[in-house]
Amino acid sequence: MAIAIGIDLGGTNARAAAVDTSTGAIVAWHKEAHADRSPAAVAESTARAVRLAAASAGVPVPAAVGAGVAAQVLGSTGVVLNAPNLGWRNAPFGELLSRALSTRVRVLNDLSAAALGERRFGAARGTDDAILLFVGSGVGSGLILGGRLHEGAGGVAGEVGHVKVRPRPGTPERRCGCGQVSCLEAYAGGHNIAARVREELAAGRASMVRDLLGGDVARAQPSHVEQACARGDAYAVALWDEVAELLGDAAANLATVLNPARLVFGGGVLLACPCLETRVRARLEARISASAARGLSVVRAALGDDAGVVGAALAGLEPPTGAGSAP
């Protein structure tokens, strides 16, 4: 049994998993919370998680590990360009972790890692051309093209959350966490959906969502919109229609340009909100080019929260490439 180590680096903790590379099973894992979010401190605690996961699996720390980060990552340089939930900009995380572990480190975007995991062991298995579209607190994608992970010249391909969209007339322009306006994620990311609903209800909009929250609109989440939509609440139906138009168009445009065999839906918002997912699928079907629709299957992610850490472990095994040498 060959064991590889993958890391899932999030805003609050680092999870290291020892993965059986023939089955994708996680045989041991360890999680370390970030006591201090500086890149050096996070590299140290991540290194500790790796050592403990390896020890639990009864293997030495391997010669190379992979780390998936919810961030823009400059390909194989290991530099994290922008990680909002860690507050990092231009952090040389790969180098710091490599030094702390005395091992080679491959850092990649979390959805690129998830794409590798789903392709080897999950919903994208057996195809050379697959796109993952994830809607959770943010919106992102992972691209497998021609049998390989596509990261682009600078390592930041697949940032579909930051393509520009036009919401329905009357919806105010919203600023994205990246600093720009009109990004898809500003309207369709779970965090921003929640913020919008809180603002609109606080401003007096009528909706069943308020009743579901016992009037405490500050607690509104996408799940409340989903519940209200399922019961026919006009506000929630209109909001899901709008969000689905934007997501469905983005999915259709991605598929029209890249012609995947499989489109994999994932993420905590999209998979937990069937009213939304149904609408996204309908919009996608209506807007994709007829030629790209031929042979396309739209499926749901299969590995859940483990896709990223499993894919990161696989990425660590790949030989280094030149991707990401350009800023």
Binding-site ranges for Zn ion (CB under 5 A): 162, 176, 178, 180, 183
Nearest to Zn ion of 163, 272 (CB atom): 163
Q: From the CB of 178, what's the least distance to Zn ion, in Å?
A: 3
3-state secondary structure (DSSP) of residue 173: coil
Q: From the CB of 192, what's the least distance to Zn ion, in Å?
A: 10
Nearest to Zn ion of 129, 159 (CB atom): 159
Nearest to Zn ion of 183, 228 (CB atom): 183
Contacts of 170 (CB under 8 A, 6+ apart): none
Nearest to Zn ion of 11, 25 (CB atom): 11
Q: In terms of DSSP bridges, do strands 130-135 and 297-300 run parallel, antiparallel, or are they unpaired?
A: unpaired
Token pair recorded at residue 44: 């140290």
Nearest to Zn ion of 185, 200 (CB atom): 185
Q: In terms of DSSP bridges, do strands 88-91 and 80-83 run parallel, antiparallel, or are they unpaired?
A: antiparallel
Place of tokens 């590990």: 65
Sheet order of strands, 72-73 included: 72-73, 80-83, 88-91
Helices (H), ranges, the chain: 39-57, 93-101, 110-121, 184-188, 190-202, 208-212, 222-230, 234-258, 274-287, 290-293, 307-317
3-state secondary structure (DSSP) of residue 280: helix
Compute φ and ψ for 192, nearest 5 degrees. Answer: -75, -30
Q: From the CB of 324, what's the least distance to Zn ion, in Å?
A: 20
Nearest to Zn ion of 182, 259 (CB atom): 182
Q: From the CB of 145, what's the least distance to Zn ion, in Å?
A: 23
Nearest residue to 280 via CA among 122, 160, 123, 126: 160
Q: From the CB of 173, what's the least distance to Zn ion, in Å?
A: 12
Q: From the CB of 176, what's the least distance to Zn ion, in Å?
A: 3
